[in-house]
Structures are given as structure tokens and as C-alpha cells.
Amino acid sequence: MGYRILAETAMAVHFLFIVFVVLGGFLAWRWPRVIWLHLAAAAWGLCIVLFDLNCPLTYVEDRARERAGQSGLSRGFIDTYLTGVIYPERFLDEVRLLIAVVVAASYAGVLVRWRRRG
């Protein structure tokens, strides 16, 4: 039971992390210090995509599922839960571009707000 809870928790944290990567830059409009955490999260997300790195949260979820007697993830987190589920796999490049545009727009908003303050 404990490993199943750990797997579900890792999955939920992973979803939250992805939401933060996509939308977290907008939090910096209200709380400017968040931008540094978001820059780190966005850089990590970009590195995972560009260099096909394994995310530690995927590892935790996968191992916890196996220990709970479930099948582990056959693919990465995004490939398992998002690609082909939330959006068709053929639109992966477009989704990635949209995410980049959203992050860039949030950073543009941060710059505008910072300039107005200063």
C-alpha cells in the first residue's frame, strides 16, 4: 500500500512540476522572486527534452509501482500520461512550440512589470 501511495504521489508531483514549468513564469508577475525557481525548472525541463534525460520523479514512480506489484512505466512520464492522451502524438512538436511560446510570453510579462516598477 505504501509504495502505491508513493507512486501516486510522485505522479501528482510530476504533473504539478510540468504545470509549473509551463505556467510558473506568470507567478513571477505577482511574486518576482519566483522567476529564479522557474528559470531552474524550465531549464531542467528543456534539458530533459533536448538531451533525453531521465527525470528522478519518473524513476521514483516507476520503482514504486514495481514494488507495489504494478507494472512500471514502459515509457517516460510525458509519453505515458500526456502524449497520445492529452494531445495526439503527431502534434508533439507543435505542443512543445506552444509551451515555449507560453514560457516566453510569461517572461516578457515579467520584464514589462519589472521595468514599470523601476
The structural domains of the chain, with segments of one domain joined by +, span 2-117
Give the Cβ contact number of residue 66 at 10 Å.
14
Number of H helices, E strands in the chain: 5, 0
Look at residue 1 in the predicted model and tell me its pLDDT: 84
The pLDDT > 90 percentage for the chain reads 88
Look at residue 59 in the predicted model and tell me its pLDDT: 95
H-helix or E-strand spanning residue 3: helix 2-30
For residue 12, what is its C-alpha cell?
Answer: 501528482
Q: Is the pLDDT of residue 101 over 90?
A: yes
For the segment 5-63, what is each residue's pLDDT rounded down to a tens digit?
Answer: 999 999 999 999 999 999 999 999 999 999 999 999 999 999 998 998 889 999 999 99
